[in-house]
Amino acid sequence: MTQDDPSDRTGDDRTYNRRSILSSAGSIAIGGLIGSSGVASATPGREPGPKTDEIIVGLSSSVSDVVREAHTFSPDGCEVAHANETIQYATVSIPPDASQRSRERIFESIRRSPAVEYAESNVTVQSLLEPNDPQYENQRAPRQVNCEQAWETTRGSEDVVIAVVDQGIQHDHPALESVVDERIGRDFVDNDSDPYPDRDEFHGTHVAGIATGGTNDGTGHAGISDCSLLSVRALNQTGEGALSDVADAIQWSADAGADVINLSLGVQGSFETLRSACQYAADRGILLVAAAGNQGVNRVFSPASEESVVGVSALESDDSLASFSNTGPEIDIAAPGSQVFSAVNGGDYARLSGTSMAAAVVSGVAGLTLSAHPNLSRTELRQHLLETAVDIGLDETEQGSGRVDAAAAVGTTPSGDTGEDDVSSQEDGGDQDGDSDQDGGNQDGDSDQNEGNTTGQCGNETVTASADGSLDGNTWQGQSDRYTYRLHTADPCSATVALEGPANGDFELYVTTDGRSPSRWDHDRSSTNSASRESIALTLDGDEVLGLQVHAEWGAGQYSLRLEERGR
């Protein structure tokens, strides 16, 4: 059977009992799940859609009541409109008639509060669709990424859940109703449990139909996978939504047990709230996939540009780069995005183009891969998709690792977790004095900060690792890089992590010991002096996986990160 010509079978009479994480026996009510989600509205009747007159304020992890704290620093005339206690932010509304200078003063007033980590505009996030006339032709995308061979192994497990954060999905569409999770989803635009889209809100249905959809069921088209589908509505009828709504939708999807979150949306620039939401999901083992943008420029939109997210560019049917696709060093992988055939509202089908469609293809392949290899961690799944991608001869800024390949991803045995941005390492033998000298001769001051350093009690087996990069902290939110380090010595004893940044900079170092990606508000150890050099010493038991974050609080330029691990 080819996917151009679906089978005439009426199905195999399966009963779709989609996975639910609700603990109440037999309960499928969304309300019970939302009650524990940490998302709360501080002002009843908040208008849905974009919220251009709001500031998002990120608060320190030490704040126990986000709403109460937000009230204390909100200037006169401003109101606390919304709060998310889970990822620690509140939105503060600005009077719509406030002048630009008044807005700047409000920003500065809020930033001066000791409890405030960052403040940024509640910008508008848009769906990333390149409009085109609907056509009803045979599908090309599944064949282009070799789904037919992958489908011989799996069409996707109902235990794998793909959440689509978008306009909402016509969950009773003939092509989708068999794969929709029994919980259906959540609406963050209207703040209710019914994410059903309006007639003109076709983007979410189209994207969902690419990633998932009944295959070989004699109905409609074939989705890339037959995984479970959660509809999470964060964009309105114009394909726009508030940054806060998108962040809440990502957090909710993570708490709802999604395995993959598709983000066929984006915004130019980098925003701490979106980064925090994506990192929250990533820290819970969820693969996030996002569209690069459709301006045809060398700039990847957020959230695709985030380190915790797989950024996807769009290809034509001949594997050339689509003219509308954004490019850049943050591109991880490429997928078909031109004239992709899928479901739209009203039980119909159409061909649409955009990096939105390409991201959905990758999400679907991720679902197939996780169905075939269910024990893969998030980082292992990501790495496996990149390792099995096909090099199609484009620049890395255009294709990343290459075009996603479903057959290779499903049929190839994963090589294992290599970590996220693993720090490169080399083993050193014998006397380690030479290693100490490599610290530039000016790390003695850092060594004094290493309280609890048990290096002297360890043996001679030593592994050193290093990484370098460039950060720009000359903005109010700063900039970060993250790394993962896995222990290499036979019997680990201790590790010392040293950071050296530009002499005129203010750089910070954060470490976790369980492999999760650290942040300024989620870490096990930190070194945050007002200087360009930081150091952290750790006593090791042997089962740690270190997560490292370098943050430029102020200053810009090259930094170096060095780790020395000793065995007993």
159 tagged catalytic:
no
**Same-domain pairing of 399 and 466:** no
pLDDT computed for residue 476 by the predictor:
57
CA distances from 89 to 61, 82, 218, 548, 551 (A): 10, 9, 47, 23, 20
Say yes or no: 445 and 400 in one domain: no
Residue 470 falls inside a structural domain: yes
What's the confidence (pLDDT) of residue 475? Answer: 64
pLDDT of 315 higher than 80: yes
Query: What's the 3-state SS for 449-497?
Result: CCCCCCHHHCCCCEEEEEEEEEEECCCCCCEEEEEEEECCCCCEEEEEE
Apex CA 324: angle with CA 322 and CA 326, to 5°? 95
The answer to whether 536 and 547 are in contact (CB under 8 A) is: no
| Residue range 357-368, pLDDT digits in tens | 999 999 999 999
Is 400 in the same domain as 442? Answer: no
In a domain, 531, yes or no: yes
Residue 214 pLDDT class (50, 70, 90 cuts): low
56-80: b (≥16 Cβ within 10 Å) or e? bbbbeeebeebbebbeebbeeebeb
Higher per-residue pLDDT: 416 or 449? 416
Over the stretch 413-441, which tens digit does the pLDDT of each residue have?
887 544 444 555 444 433 333 332 333 33
Q: Within this chain, do residues 107 and 198 fall inside the same structural domain, yes or no?
A: no
- Write down which residue in 77, 104, 121 finishes a domain: 121
Tell me what pLDDT residue 529 has.
81
Same domain for 456 and 348, yes or no, is no
Amino acid occupying residue 299: R
Q: Are residues 278 and 368 in the same domain?
A: yes
Same domain, 299 and 241: yes
The CATH number that applies at residue 87 is 3.30.70.920
Q: Is 203 a catalytic residue?
A: yes
CATH number of the domain residue 342 falls in: 3.40.50.200
Pairing of strands 240-242, 124-127: antiparallel
Q: Span 122-132, mean pLDDT?
A: 65
Q: How far apart are CA 508 and CA 473, in angstroms?
A: 11
Domain boundary among 348, 380, 411: 411
Task: Give per-residue pLDDT as tens, 4-49.
Answer: 333 332 333 322 233 322 222 222 111 111 223 444 434 445 677 7
Q: How many helices (H) and strands (E) does the chain have?
A: 14, 26
The answer to whether residues 375 and 413 touch, using CB atoms and an 8 Å cutoff, is no
Indicate the number of domains in the chain: 3
Question: Are 304 and 443 found together in one domain?
Answer: no
Q: Is residue 557 part of a domain?
A: yes
pLDDT at 563 (0 to 100): 92
Query: Active-site residue among 20, 157, 166, 221?
Result: 166
> Residue 251: inside a domain, yes or no?
yes
* pLDDT computed for residue 420 by the predictor: 46
- CA-nearest of 482, 456, 489, 490 to 546 is 482
Instruction: Tell me, yes or no, whether 218 and 343 share the same domain.
Output: yes
Mean pLDDT of 186-192: 91
> Percentage of residues in the chain with pLDDT exceeding 70?
81
Same domain, 138 and 193: yes
Q: Tell me, what's the pLDDT at 505?
A: 85
Q: Which residue has the higher pLDDT, 328 or 140?
A: 328
Q: Work out whether strand 180-187 and strand 240-242 pair parallel, antiparallel, or are unpaired.
A: unpaired
pLDDT of residue 332: 96
Do 436 and 404 lie in a common domain? no
Q: What CATH number does the domain containing 492 carry?
A: 2.60.120.380
Range of the domain at 96: 53-121
> Where is 436: in which H helix or E strand?
helix 433-437
Inside any domain, residue 33: no
Whether this prediction's pTM lies above 0.75 is answered by no
pLDDT at 68 over 70: yes
Question: By percentage, how much of the chain surpasses pLDDT 90?
Answer: 39
| Token code pair at residue 537 | 């010493």
3-state secondary structure of 387: helix
Do 180 and 117 belong to one domain? no
**Among 97, 121, 145, which residue terminates a domain?**
121
Q: Is 109 a catalytic residue?
A: no
Most confident of 119-123, 214-218, 366-370, 502-506: 366-370
Asked whether residue 24 is assigned to any structural domain, the reply reads: no
Residue 188's pLDDT is 93
